[in-house]
Amino acid sequence: MTATVPAVTVPTTTPADRRQWQLISRRFRRHRLAVAALVVLLALLVCCFGATWIAPFARNAQDLALGPVAPSAAHWLGTDELGRDYLSEILYAGRISLAIGLSVAVLSTTVGTVLGAAAGYFGGWLDEVVMRVTDLFLVVPGIVVLAVALEGFGHTPTTIVPVLAALGWTSVARVVRGQVVSLREKEYVAAAVVLGANHRRIIARHILPNLTGVIAVSTSLGAATAVIIESTLSFLGYGVQPPESSWGNMLSQASGLIGTDKVYLLYFPGLFILLTALSINFLGDGMRDALDPQGGRS
């Protein structure tokens, strides 16, 4: 009779991995601004993407007899010229602004990280091509390119995201490329080469983990920048177009109300844009400090 050997379950995480994540968590919690920013950003995401259930009024629910009224207990942020609850409209508009910002950040960071890592690691003609392309994008006025591209391809979010990402990946690529050029000379990379590790494994297992802080900051800056640029484009009339609404075109529609008693219609979208940009930046700073492999032990 053949003895049955019991199956051995290999743990997916080692004690060292758990200790590392605990260290990262402690470092992040020490950054109080980053923790507060995370709470604010999560609240914005939940309220905007859950606006169907959270917003006090339905989207575009008009009350023409009511008209614009100042903030009150019934309408916390007041109402606009069509009698729509402004808080509800801001939450629904935030869906588009936040979706564009996060999508652009992820896409541009992914493309920039891949191309920057490849250029920095392999060097040669690939490095030259990537760096000359980034130089070309840096000297081109971005707002003009965006305006022309959106006029030609449309003003929908599905057009805005790839156009913004196409302009945003270059700064990420330059930062990542510089870091990789430095890291590829380290002793542990040379040891991996001697042990026969292929290039893909060296980049994925030995170089990119040391760039997590840089990538986190690049992603956060990309998201904040995308939200601001989309708002700028919409304010100028080149971004999201009605009947779709974003914080930028809400600002544009209220731009003529300065000096009137309805100026609150301009202040509140701007406040949400500012709050989002600051929260993302503070969160990126906290993630950079927490993920910094050179940081001191706690």
Domains of the chain by residue range: 24-61+79-291
For residues 77 and 137, the model is more confident at 77
Write out pLDDT tens, residues 213-236.
Answer: 788 888 888 888 888 888 888 777
Instruction: Write the pLDDT tens digit of every residue in 164-219.
Output: 888 888 888 888 888 888 888 788 777 877 877 787 888 878 788 888 878 888 88
All residues at 6 or more sequence positions from 229 whose CB lies less than 8 Å from its CB, including other chains: 142, 143, 146, 164
15-30 and 32-49 are packed helices; what angle lies between their axes, rounded to 10 degrees? 90
The one-letter amino acid at 287: M
Mean pLDDT: which of 34-43, 61-70, 73-82, 237-246 is highest?
Answer: 34-43
* Predicted pLDDT at 41: 93
What's the mean pLDDT when you consider all of the chain? 82
In CATH terms, the fold of domain 24-61+79-291 is: MetI-like fold (1.10.3720)
254-288: per-residue pLDDT in tens? 887 787 888 888 899 999 999 999 999 898 888 88
- Alpha-carbon distance values, 157 to 27, 92, 94, 270, 277 (Å): 36, 14, 13, 20, 19
pTM: 0.81
The mean pLDDT of 22-47, rounded to a whole number, is: 88
pLDDT attached to residue 17: 58
Task: Give the separation between CA 136 and CA 145, rounded to whole angstroms.
Answer: 12
CA distance 232 to 252: 9
